[in-house]
Amino acid sequence: MSGRNNKRNKTIRFLTGVVVVDIIAIIAIIFVFVKFIKPANKDKASGKKDVTATENVSDTSYEAEVSDISTDTQDSTDSFVEETTEVPVFDDPAVAYAEDMLSKMSLHEKVCQMFIITPEAATGYYVVTEAGETSKQALVDYPVCGYIYFAQNLQSIEQTKTMLANVKQYGMDTNGIPFFTSVDEEGGIVARCADKLGTTSFNSMYYYRAEGTETAYNNAYTIASDISGLGFNLDFAPVADTWSNSANTVIGERAYSTDYQEAADLVAAATKGFNDGGVVSCIKHFPGHGDTMEDSHKSAAYIHKPLADLMGEDYLPFKAGIEAGTGMVMVGHLYLSDADITSSEDNYPASLNYKVITGELREKLGYDGVVITDSLAMGAISNYYSSGEAVCLSVKAGADIMLMPADFKSAVDALEQAVESGEISEERIDESVRRILILKYNFLIKD
């Protein structure tokens, strides 16, 4: 009896132990469920990412998740790229400046930047000797590249300094672009400042030829220093024509020499002198006015030479001036007789001629700087073309700045209309304005 009781008691104890273990296991399972599994599922249900779970998923699942994210991001990026333009980076600060300014300019502002005119043309006054509110408003309406001044505008040193300082400030206030204040100051018979204001006086440059390049440099440096002290920053000098025709009177002693190579050496030295003296130099009058009989101020002037002769003769001083760092090249109103340049359908003077400006000056001589025309009010142009026609032809030919059209405002209107109609592309306008802005940065801002 006692044996059966002991056996039953052992069985009861065993079963009790099993129940206790089961109860402990159930409690442990419930604890784990409450502590870990339920919060994780709650996070998933609420849309939150379970970092621990993500780290423990298979590589395939991870790649799939990344792929989905990348796809979503790419779609968003594609949409963003379509709506914006990448801003280019330019290593050359002058180019960066030009591109930045171009991006802010209207067509009217770009077109106006391609003109240098007299202050009279801008204001409508008969003679301008000061820059005040009328000059300021004129630049707001027509923000041109700069003004050219003549003897009539110069009364005294102080008056000239004040006038030029004011107009340069008005130009900057208008569009943030430096303003050219220019003059013809070659020395000798073309010397507005020396004649009216008493700056250093020189004989014509031809008479210094025997003294060599050092004198050519020093003379130019002195002229530039004098006029930059007055406020001028652009001088239409030196003359790069060679006085090869003794009957030529329009150039004559204004030239540095009657010998092409000597003229080249002296012009190169003078170009450096003008630049170093504080003004932008401008060699003139391409392709060479020294062998003509006629005066382009009054009528058409002709060059009776084949292109091969020009390259080995008249072009030499221009090539030397370009290599010396001239700021501009002025193209004259000169007709070339060479059949490669002229034809019955395309018989334009050099200043309006694509074959001369682009073909000869830019391509043959490799010049990519600013090209300016001689005054478009001169008889060689104004007797045969309207201001609008002349300006549009010059731009098509490759010129960047049009100097003194006879009717400035109609010229601006004509050029704008040519762009709007598609006759001239806005990219062609940008090409010229870019050159002008780069020149202004390098000569008027950088230093």
Q: Which residues make beta-bridge pairs with 401?
A: 372
User: Which of 23-27, 28-32, 296-300 shows the lowest mean pLDDT across its residues?
Assistant: 28-32
Measured CA to CA, the distance from residue 176 to residue 105 in angstroms comes to 11
Contact call for residues 183 and 173 (beta carbons, < 8 A): no
Q: Please tell me the pTM assigned to this model.
A: 0.79
What pLDDT is stored for residue 250 in this prediction?
85
Measured CA to CA, the distance from residue 377 to residue 382 in angstroms comes to 5
- Who wins on pLDDT, 157 or 53? 157
| Mean pLDDT calculated for residue range 324-345 | 84
Domains and CATH numbers, the chain: 2-83 (no CATH), 93-445 (3.20.20.300)
What pLDDT is stored for residue 60 in this prediction?
35
Instruction: Write down the mean pLDDT value for the chain.
Output: 84
Q: Return the closest-CA partner of residue 95 out of 388, 437, 363.
A: 437
User: Which of 64-73, 136-145, 164-173, 338-347 shows the lowest mean pLDDT across its residues?
Assistant: 64-73
Q: Report the number of secondary-structure helices (H) and strands (E) in the chain.
A: 19, 12
**pLDDT > 90 fraction of the chain, expressed in percent and rounded:** 70
Summarised one tens digit per residue, pLDDT across range 67-125 is 332 333 334 334 434 444 455 666 799 999 999 999 999 999 999 999 999 999 999 99
> Would you say residue 225 has pLDDT above 70?
yes
Q: Return the closest-CA partner of residue 399 out of 428, 420, 423.
A: 428
> Would you say residue 220 has pLDDT above 80?
yes
The alpha helices in 231-338, defined as continuous H runs, are 260-276, 307-312, 315-323
> Would you say residue 312 has pLDDT above 50?
yes
Q: Return the closest-CA partner of residue 206 out of 196, 221, 219.
A: 219
- Who wins on pLDDT, 289 or 46? 289
Q: In sequence order, what are the residues at sequence separation of 6 or more whose Cβ sits closer than 8 angstroms to the Cβ of residue 294?
A: 250, 300, 301, 302
| Cα 254-405-336 angle, rounded to 5 deg | 55
> Would you say residue 403 has pLDDT above 80?
yes
Summarised one tens digit per residue, pLDDT across range 160-203 is 999 999 999 999 999 999 999 999 999 999 999 999 999 999 99
What pLDDT is stored for residue 53 in this prediction?
33
| Mean pLDDT calculated for residue range 411-439 | 98
Contact call for residues 362 and 392 (beta carbons, < 8 A): no
Summarised one tens digit per residue, pLDDT across range 143-166 is 999 999 999 999 999 999 999 999
What pLDDT is stored for residue 446 in this prediction?
85
Cα torsion angle, 131, 133, 138, 141, sign: positive
What pLDDT is stored for residue 300 in this prediction?
73
DSSP letter at 37 equals I
| Mean pLDDT calculated for residue range 309-323 | 96
Kindly state the tokens that stand for 192.
Answer: 């507005």
pLDDT confidence band for 240 (50 / 70 / 90): very high
What pLDDT is stored for residue 307 in this prediction?
86
Contact call for residues 257 and 242 (beta carbons, < 8 A): yes
* Residue 115 half-sphere exposure toward CB, CA atoms < 13 A: 34
| Mean pLDDT calculated for residue range 262-281 | 98
pLDDT confidence band for 2 (50 / 70 / 90): very low
What pLDDT is stored for residue 38 in this prediction?
45
What pLDDT is stored for residue 301 in this prediction?
79
Measured CA to CA, the distance from residue 216 to residue 285 in angstroms comes to 19
> Would you say residue 437 has pLDDT above 90?
yes
What pLDDT is stored for residue 342 in this prediction?
65
